[in-house]
Amino acid sequence: MAFIEVTGLSKSFTSAGAPREVLHDVTLSVERGEFVSVVGMMGCGKSTLLKIVAGLIAPDAGQVIIDGDAVDVRRGVRRDAAFVFQNYSLLPWFSALENVRLAVGAAFPDWPKERQRQQATRHLEAVGLGQALQRRPGQLSGGMRQRVAIARAFAIEPAILLLDEPFGALDALTRESLQQELARLCSAVERPVTTVMITNNVEEALLLSDRIVPMTGRPPAGPAPGRGTSLGLAVAVELPRPRSANDLVHDDCAARVRAKVVASLTEDLERTRRARNERAA
| pLDDT tens digits, 161-174 | 999 988 776 777 77
Task: Answer for the pair 256, 270: CB distance below 8 angstroms, yes or no.
Answer: no
Interval 205-228 mean pLDDT: 74
Can you tell me the distance from the alpha carbon of 159 to that of 281, in angstroms, rounded to the nearest whole number?
A: 51
pTM: 0.86
The larger pLDDT score, comparing residue 226 to residue 263, is at 263
**Distance from the Cα of residue 81 to its chain's centroid:** 12
List the domain boundaries for the chain: 4-80+158-280
Task: Answer for the pair 194, 30: CB distance below 8 angstroms, yes or no.
Answer: yes
pLDDT at 95: 94
Interval 74-91 mean pLDDT: 82
Can you tell me the distance from the alpha carbon of 138 to that of 140, in angstroms, rounded to the nearest whole number?
A: 6
Can you tell me the distance from the alpha carbon of 82 to that of 96, in angstroms, rounded to the nearest whole number?
A: 17
- % of the chain surpassing 90 pLDDT: 38
Task: Answer for the pair 100, 120: CB distance below 8 angstroms, yes or no.
Answer: yes
pLDDT at 77: 79
| pLDDT tens digits, 139-167 | 998 888 888 988 898 899 888 999 998 87
| pLDDT tens digits, 224-249 | 455 677 888 899 999 888 788 888 88
Q: Is 14 helix (H, G, I), strand (E, B) or coil?
A: strand
The amino acid that residue 108 corresponds to is F
| CATH of the domain spanning 4-80+158-280, picked from 3.40.50.720, 3.40.50.1820, 3.65.10.10, 3.40.50.300 | 3.40.50.300
